[in-house]
Amino acid sequence: MRKAVVVFSGGQDSTTCLIQALAQYDEVHCITFDYGQRHKLEIEVAEALCKQLGVAAHKVMDVGLLNELAISSLTRDNIPVSHELQENGLPNSFVPGRNILFLTLAGIYAYQIGADAVITGVCETDFSGYPDCRDAFVKSLNQSLVLGMDREMRIDTPLMWLNKAETWALADQCGKLDVVREQTLTCYNGIIGDGCGDCPSCDLRKAGLDDYLANRNAIMAELVRKQQAGQA
């Protein structure tokens, strides 16, 4: 039996990954992290989607220590989410160490249940400038987890080389475009669906959707090309 663990926030990217995984694996588990995030409603959204989509198990893990250590606009309500980059070149929504912690814990969970893969929706092609969404980081951490647990396991990143328009195309290809559009939470200000329309996450989501709806056939064809080339 092929099993997978999806790092699941209830957002556009992780929901698209989950929908795809449900078609590819015999058993899919989800793990969601509560780190005191600004958009905490995402945990309830994740729970609802897991029930609706029929995952084998959904674990919500309290990692509040991350909130204490990592200062970011996503961990502090008194820091507004900014469109401007900080002096270090990163957005102020970057939570240092978040994906290091999340993927490590997901790897431990995968070890315990005998899963073949950990699936995460990180993306280097069309991302928010976060260094822990890059392919080199994921490959490095994957190697460390295999060495540290002495067990083969993959960290799969189905969206790594897709832009946001192509991610929408993937949801459509899986027959769940409306679910992803209407029921996921990507907005940093905690508004389900199309979001607040003002934060950087909403900007990326809307630009990708507008592009896909305006150029549906061409973008779907490019998605298929990337899938055939092993890039998705």
Instruction: Give the bridge partners for 224, in sequence order.
Output: none
Percentage of the chain modeled with pLDDT above 70? 97
pLDDT digits (tens, 9 = 90+) for 40-65: 899 999 999 999 999 999 999 999 88
The pLDDT of residue 84 is 67
Tell me, what CATH number does 67's domain have? 3.40.50.620
Q: Please say if the pLDDT value at position 21 is more than 80.
A: yes
Q: Please count the other Cβ atoms lying within 10 Å of the Cβ belonging to residue 54.
A: 8
Say if residue 36 carries a ligand binding annotation. Answer: no
Which of 36-45, 88-97, 148-157, 210-219 shows the lowest mean pLDDT across its residues? 88-97
Residue at 133 is within a domain: yes
How are strands ordered across the β-sheet holding 27-34? 57-62, 27-34, 3-7, 117-119, 154-156
Residue at 8 is within a domain: yes
Burial of 67 (0-12, 13-18, 19+ CB in 10 A): middle
The pLDDT of residue 128 is 65
Say if residue 9 carries a ligand binding annotation. Answer: yes
Residue at 227 is within a domain: no
Which of 11-25, 87-101, 174-188 shows the lowest mean pLDDT across its residues? 87-101
CA 171 – CA 174 distance, rounded (Å): 5
Residue at 228 is within a domain: no
Q: Please say if the pLDDT value at position 76 is more than 90.
A: no
Residue at 180 is within a domain: no
The pLDDT of residue 35 is 87
Q: Average pLDDT, stretch 224-232? A: 95
The pLDDT of residue 56 is 98
Q: Average pLDDT, stretch 96-120? A: 96
Residue at 185 is within a domain: no
- Give me 139's structure tokens: 């490959």
Say if residue 127 carries a ligand binding annotation. Answer: no
Say if residue 14 carries a ligand binding annotation. Answer: yes
Say if residue 16 carries a ligand binding annotation. Answer: yes
CA 69 – CA 215 distance, rounded (Å): 43
Residue at 193 is within a domain: no
The pLDDT of residue 5 is 98
Q: How many domains does the chain have?
A: 1
Q: Please say if the pLDDT value at position 232 is more than 80.
A: yes
Say if residue 137 carries a ligand binding annotation. Answer: no
pLDDT digits (tens, 9 = 90+) for 126-142: 666 789 999 999 999 99
Residue at 150 is within a domain: yes
Say if residue 128 carries a ligand binding annotation. Answer: no
Structural domain boundaries enclosing 86: 3-162
- Give me 69's structure tokens: 């250590």
Say if residue 190 carries a ligand binding annotation. Answer: no
DSSP per position, 161-186:
T--HHHHHHHHHHTT-HHHHHHH---
The pLDDT of residue 158 is 97
Computed over every residue of the chain, the mean pLDDT equals: 92
Say if residue 202 carries a ligand binding annotation. Answer: yes
Say if residue 12 carries a ligand binding annotation. Answer: yes
The pLDDT of residue 200 is 85
117-119 and 27-34 strand pairing = unpaired
Sign, CA torsion 82/88/89/94: negative
Say if residue 133 carries a ligand binding annotation. Answer: no
CA 178 – CA 196 distance, rounded (Å): 18
